[in-house]
Amino acid sequence: MKKNKANEKILEIKNLHFSYGPIKAVNNLSFHVNKGEIVALLGANGSGKTTLLQTISGLNSAASGEIIFKDENITRLAAEKIVQRHLIHVPEHRQVFSTMSVFDNLHLGAYHHYHQTKKKNVEKEIEKLFEIFPILEERKDQLAGTLSGGQQQMLAIARAIMSKPDLLLLDEPSLGLAPLIVKEVLELVKNLRDQYNTTVLLIEQNVFASLKISDRAYVMQHGEIVKEGSSLELLRDEKVKEAFLGHAVG
Ligand code: ATP
């Protein structure tokens, strides 16, 4: 991990609550992410991971608690205001604009800062991204809907990078992908952090693969954090191995 001054926090969650009627999906949850880290959020289906990311990005409105991003309380901000602060959420099921080309999808990623960034500069940024995602350059004129699942996932992540995220929330980027492609996508996430110093909060069912690329991890159960530690510690933890063995890849 790239070291940042005194582990500066970019995101801090304090006593957060969100319920669907009687279901406490996020229950008095506190945790933080330091600048430049990749933090994995682990937990069985239904433990509240997706709801947590949706609450951080403003898609759900927290019942109580605080979300502090870059020293600002964003708990009550609308989702579009949160995006403007460069907190970018890539939801499950990679939502690319399937009837638009790969290139146009990437252009749209720059939409919210287009007034500050000249078209020429946006195109330069796309060229730079193509060095990390060569397959997207090969397919740049192709309609996004005709790409394979793995390529669409790469496009969804690349489009998010075009939004210049300070914090990227990734919800199960490997969903439905073959194990080899999963590794490729997760390695890419790590490369992006190394090249752009983007901080990443990652939900991933492939526990071992995500612990291998992350710095720290939290384990959720019934809307609460039940374990936390460095990814290396959790990789060696017998209870974590036992609980998640079924989800291992390579
Ligand atoms: P998965 O890995 O399956 O996506 P998760 O850890 O992301 O699971 P959530 O999807 O956040 O968990 O679900 C947390 C709890 O909230 C579960 O009990 C789930 O059934 C419930 N839940 C999720 N979405 C809704 C909804 N739209 N309406 C009502 N209950 C919901």
pLDDT digits (tens, 9 = 90+) for 199-210: 999 998 888 889
| Residue 93 covered by a domain | yes
- For residue 5, pLDDT beyond 60: no
| Residue 167 covered by a domain | yes
Please write the tens of the pLDDT for every residue from 77-126: 999 999 999 999 998 877 789 999 999 999 988 876 656 667 778 888 89
pTM score of the predicted model: 0.90
Q: Which of these, 216, 196, 223, lies nearest to 9 by C-alpha position? A: 216
Q: Are 204 and 210 in contact (CB under 8 A)?
A: yes
| Residue 2 covered by a domain | no
Pocket of ligand 1 (CB under 6 A): 20, 23, 25, 43, 45-51
CATH code assigned at 190: 3.40.50.300
| Residue 250 covered by a domain | no
Nearest CA to ligand 1 atom 11: 48
Nearest CA to ligand 1 atom 2: 45
| Residue 106 covered by a domain | yes
Q: What pLDDT score was predicted for residue 220? A: 93
| Residue 46 covered by a domain | yes
d(CA 146, CA 136): 12
Q: What percent of the chain has pLDDT over 90?
A: 60
Domain count, the chain: 1
| Residue 140 covered by a domain | yes
Nearest CA to ligand 1 atom 27: 20
- Domain extent, residue 179, equals 9-245
| Residue 1 covered by a domain | no
Mean confidence (pLDDT) of the chain: 89
